[in-house]
Amino acid sequence: MRKKRSDKSPANVSEPKVAMSYRLSPAKISRAQRILGTKTATATIEEALDMVVFRRELIDGVDAAHGIAIEAAFPDPPASGRKRRG
């Protein structure tokens, strides 16, 4: 009998996959798996790699925006003239 697919698993993965072999610490994979909430070691490694790539994209974006004035989308209202008692 085949195992029923979980609703959370992706139907199709757009990028090709290849089998690879690495020597990794089982304790480190297990800890990362608990932190990320992933079900498999492969999912854990992919999620961690996605996070590394996203971190680089954020850093590159901040570097590209350096020196550009950023205006607050929701600026703080001006302070009232009253002083607090204290």
21-67 per-position pLDDT tens digit: 999 999 999 999 999 999 999 999 999 999 999 999 988 888 888 87
Tell me which residue of 45, 51, 47, 52 sits closest to 26, measured CA to CA.
Answer: 45
What's the token pair of residue 19? 């089998």
Number of domains in the chain: 1
Q: Can you give the residue range of the structural domain that contains 44?
A: 26-65
Please check whether residue 53 lies inside any domain of the structure. yes
In 1-86, where do the E strands start and end? none
Position 5 scores a pLDDT of 45
- The pTM assigned to this predicted structure is 0.58
Please check whether residue 79 lies inside any domain of the structure. no
